[in-house]
A and B are shown apart, each in its own frame.
Chain A
């Protein structure tokens, strides 16, 4: 085929359909609507202070959700992030008190990574669905967290440890950002980079989209899966450390239910639970949406009992919208 035939070859017109757009960017539309509505309903909403506060509050969920995005795109499912969060919390708390605060900050994510990698190894070695494996390991890990502390709380009132969660950097103009928020933004940027710009990211998409094709392309599919779970574990550990540092308290039951919030955020953002498609920004948008709903309930003084209900209804709507767009 020559170049001229290529140029004259008719390109199908790029028709942009509203249904497609709504499916692609539905979550952003809902966020904008919510932002506008909350701004109009409350004067105290659209202030840098409140917005930074929303980010700061949701930092652990942001971190876990972005890493979970990789797992889900890779065709997996991680139900153990809440429990890993708990183990990392108490381990870091104990290490900060009895060994070294800086060491504790590093150890949290490392412990999380090891536990996450263990998930991955079990999943690939026995070829069991990740849903089952992480459901089981979440019980094991939670049990470990409780055993480590005998079920008690560990107070961590150490300056060298609590800066991570409490210190603020002054941006000028009376606006200050928490260190934790900056850590979260860096982690998010790292996840985006990994997913879009590295061979690992490509492999993750391929493993989730068509594992056999990935295998036949010479990709080490099992290793890829283990790495995604290790990243998810590390993120849960990091989130745990930040939380302990912020609260000055390590608690073995911390993070209970966090795994479901993270899954909800990823799905809400529009990443396919079938694997093979999705994006980190989507999960960030998902978390933001959930955080905005919570914040809205707060500043409008609405009965907080309606919060979960509202979040649930929005998830159903978002998923239904995506499914409607997929139908042909």
Chain B
């Protein structure tokens, strides 16, 4: 493959989903035989751009060329026939088949539809170029993620892929496995393959890529050679100017003598919590700070009765709770806005109205019969209160943007007027405008006297929107601080230190 040739050329590509523009006016050139990184924050559009090149999404506007030929139909099959293969974040293999069968899926050696021998020899030939050392007869279900990824790569090569798109390839790998994957990438590059590397691990990108394209809010910020880039220069481009989020003013923190509305005393669960103690007072916003997997969501689920509490005590307004289920929790005034709104929050086959009413059907009915006039009035009030667009009572929620879906979900619990409001990642995947509205809502709920538990991966949000924060790691709370005393850096520092302190002895023990 001649150096300097352009493998992928993207011009003016735009794409929207449900009224939200996720890619806008994208221009991109990827040179053949290079490793090209796409970086950006969550929601910047890097995966979507990868999926357009891989043929999974059809762009609304603009064009894509592969080795000079314009792509007219966007299907994975069409992309593959042009030599473009995509390796997904969630790998797409058939778990019950073995490695060879997966690699040659759809391309088996066969005569007239009847399978013939030969796949194993073909696999051996392939293995010679890849040198992955995978057992060809192992069932894929039994392989570790890193090995499955190799199977995916072999599958791409078996299909004569010249361009391989890798979407977050190292996100589920250990550092050691990631090193080996990068070794493979170097070998593929030496064979003239082009790699598009979508990731947010900046260290990996700086060490292994030739060029980098930085994206922000669905646009390309810049494309440049990796030489001379630092993590700081990349982050600065990703973030742009400091985002001018206006944090709403918090109501004064309730006095320490106020009786807590919710209290956990040494609570443990099967979901991995151990010795969790925390208090939330009426009118107080309490933040949980920790890395993904530290047990934040599990605390929320335990307080909502979704996971049984196996040890310790849970008190709501001073009353100890026995075996609490979700229904009891709702009745006692606990509300949870779950982390995954599409899977756990909304009924997407339904419109705005039933979604808003779902948690409080009892309040708008008499002996099981709905008072629809009251219901509609209430839903209209919520639509106006949150500024839900489209503002139709019977709008199809499935087609709303992420921010508006989240507003519908918040409405569901706002009408319930709970005493304890638990918010798990309330502003994930929503645009800036909706985010500010959600922030105002949180503060407003506290002002009305609710006890709020706020969980967010965006530390800035937790620190600026809460009175007090608990720091979590590994299913335990290891620290507590007034949020005003924390900064993003200091909080992260403490969390990472705690994480390492706990994992070092474990690793030593494992060896």
A residues at B contact (CB < 8 Å)? 1, 3, 5-6, 9, 11-12, 197-203, 205-206, 208-210, 212-220, 272, 275-277
Contacts and interface: CB of A to CB of B under 8 A. Distances in A.
Contact of B326 (A1, A3, A203, A218): A218
A215 B306 CA distance: 9
B390 interface: yes
Interface in B368-414: 368-370, 372, 384, 386-387, 389-391, 412
19 contacts: A1-B437, A197-B372, A198-B368, A199-B361, A199-B369, A202-B370, A205-B350, A206-B347, A208-B349, A210-B348, A210-B349, A216-B304, A216-B306, A216-B336, A216-B338, A217-B330, A275-B349, A276-B347, A276-B349
A209 B348 contact: yes
B117 interface: no
B384 A6 contact: yes
A261 B359 CA distance: 36
Contacts of A6: 384, 387, 391
A11 B349 contact: no
Contacts of B358: 202, 206, 213-214, 217, 219
Select the residue from A6, A197, A213, A215 with max chain B CB neighbours within 10 A.
A213
Contacts of A272: 349
B251 to A, nearest CB: 20
B403 to A, nearest CB: 12
Q: When A and B form their complex, which 6 residue pairs have the shortest distance between CB atoms, in order from nearest? A: A276-B349, A218-B330, A209-B347, A209-B349, A199-B361, A1-B387
Interface in B320-368: 326-327, 329-331, 336, 338, 343-350, 354, 357-359, 361-362, 365, 368
A273 to B, nearest CB: 12
Interface of B: 19, 304, 306, 326-327, 329-331, 336, 338, 343-350, 354, 357-359, 361-362, 365, 368-370, 372, 384, 386-387, 389-391, 412, 437
B370 A216 contact: no
A217 B343 contact: no
A199 B368 contact: yes
Given A5-B387, A218-B326, A218-B329, A198 B349 contact: no
B361 A210 contact: no
Contacts of B329: 218
B368 A276 contact: no
Contact of A276 (B304, B350, B372, B437): B350
Contacts of A202: 354, 357-358, 361, 370
Nearest to B358: A217
Contact of A11 (B304, B368, B384, B391): B391
A213 B326 CA distance: 11
Select the residue from A11, A200, A203, A216 with max chain B CB neighbours within 10 A.
A216
A204 to B, nearest CB: 11
B326 A197 contact: no
- For the complex, would chain A's binding face be called helix, strand, loop or mixed by DSSP majority? helix
A210 B347 contact: yes
Nearest to B387: A1
Nearest to A9: B389
Given A6-B387, A202-B370, A213-B344, A218 B349 contact: no
A3 B347 CA distance: 28
Contacts of A275: 349
Select the residue from B336, B345, B357, B358 with max chain A CB neighbours within 10 A.
B358
A141 to B, nearest CB: 29
Given A198-B365, A218-B331, A205 B304 contact: no
Nearest to A206: B347
B350 to A, nearest CB: 6
Contacts of B338: 216
Contact of A197 (B306, B350, B369): B369
Nearest to B436: A1
A216 B344 contact: yes
Contact of B368 (A200, A210, A220): A200
Given A199-B370, A202-B370, A212 B343 contact: yes
Given A1-B437, A200-B368, A205-B350, A217 B359 contact: yes
A203 B358 CA distance: 8
Given A198-B365, A202-B361, A12 B347 contact: no
Contacts of B354: 202, 205-206
Given A199-B361, A199-B362, A215 B349 contact: no
Contact of B347 (A200, A214, A220): A214
Contacts of A203: 361
A11 B390 contact: yes
Contacts of B349: 205, 208-210, 272, 275-277
Given A9-B391, A212-B344, A216-B336, 9 more contacts: A197-B372, A198-B365, A202-B358, A205-B350, A206-B358, A210-B346, A210-B348, A219-B358, A277-B349
Nearest to B344: A212
A200 B358 CA distance: 11
Contacts of B347: 205-206, 209-210, 213-214, 276
B421 to A, nearest CB: 14
Given A6-B391, A205-B350, A206-B354, A213 B345 contact: yes
Nearest to A220: B327
Contacts of B365: 198-199
Contacts of B344: 210, 212-213, 216
B472 to A, nearest CB: 22
Contacts of A210: 343-344, 346-349
Nearest to B327: A218
B412 A217 contact: yes
A208 B349 CA distance: 9
Contacts of A213: 343-347, 358
A200 B368 CA distance: 7
A212 B412 CA distance: 15
B384 A198 contact: no
B345 A198 contact: no
Nearest to B386: A1
Contacts of A9: 387, 389, 391
Contacts of A199: 361-362, 365, 368-370
Contacts of B345: 213, 216
A276 B347 CA distance: 8
B307 to A, nearest CB: 12
A221 B498 CA distance: 41
B388 to A, nearest CB: 9
B350 A218 contact: no
A9 B370 CA distance: 31
